């Protein structure tokens, strides 16, 4: 169990450090300031979003203004915590029942949970080992959900600065050759800032 916690901890560190390093290389311009209409506007920082979610799950989503994702984050983490608590309780109950059944002391039988009293010791032992694995898996799932929360915040942080509007579009227009009257299709790409249109590609 201790070894699994160590593995889970290192997985969390690897996920966090990998995405924080990605922010340094990909989002190196996120900290720069741009001047627009005589006002200084600070760009959205994917690194901040990832860091916030690493410190407190859901905080990066709030920074990205994706508030609807916060309940999903906590539902996933809460489910992992709930499974851990349930499986841990089952493990302790099975462990104690197995010990009490093997001690050959009838005075301890009242300490065995009712669900385990009619079951033979070998079956209890197998069940104990099974729920112990489930405890380990729930810890690993919690760490993975925490990591995915960081990944989601980082990705949304990058997408936040993309200029996606009706002025930036790729469309297909019908085309008629004036000289021959032949019809066809042309591919047109419009840019939002300069309003420049690429030369159409005719099919």
Tokens at 195, concatenated: 């309003």
Pure H helices in 27-69: 46-55, 59-63
Give the pairing of strands 169-176 and 39-42.
unpaired
Q: Give the pLDDT score at 107.
A: 77
Phi and psi torsions of 174, nearest 5°: -70, 150
pLDDT digits (tens, 9 = 90+) for 16-65: 554 555 455 444 444 444 444 434 446 788 899 999 999 999 999 999 99
Highest mean pLDDT of the ranges 9-18, 105-114, 127-136: 127-136
pTM over 0.85: no
Question: Which residues lie across from 201 on neighbouring strands?
Answer: 187
What region does 56 belong to: left with phi over 0, alpha with psi -120 to 50, or beta? beta
């Amino acid at each position: 169990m201790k070894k699994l916690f160590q593995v889970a901890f290192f997985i969390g560190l690897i996920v966090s450090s990998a995405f924080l390093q990605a922010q340094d290389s990909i989002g190196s311009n996120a900290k720069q300031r741009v001047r627009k209409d005589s006002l200084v506007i600070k760009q959205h920082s994917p690194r901040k979003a990832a860091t916030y979610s690493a410190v407190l799950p859901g905080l990066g989503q709030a920074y990205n203004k994706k508030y609807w994702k916060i309940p999903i984050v906590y539902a996933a983490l809460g489910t992992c915590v709930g499974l851990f608590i349930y499986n841990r309780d089952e493990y302790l109950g099975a462990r104690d029942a197995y010990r009490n059944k093997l001690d050959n002391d009838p005075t301890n039988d009242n300490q065995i949970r009712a669900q385990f009293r009619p079951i033979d010791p070998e079956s209890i032992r197998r069940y104990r080992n099974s729920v112990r694995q489930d405890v380990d898996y729930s810890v690993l799932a919690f760490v993975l959900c925490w990591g995915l929360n960081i990944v989601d915040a980082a990705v949304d942080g990058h997408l936040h600065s993309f200029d996606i509007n009706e002025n930036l579009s790729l469309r297909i227009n019908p085309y008629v050759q004036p000289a021959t009257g032949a019809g066809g299709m042309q591919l047109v790409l419009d840019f939002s800032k300069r309003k420049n249109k690429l030369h159409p590609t005719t099919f």
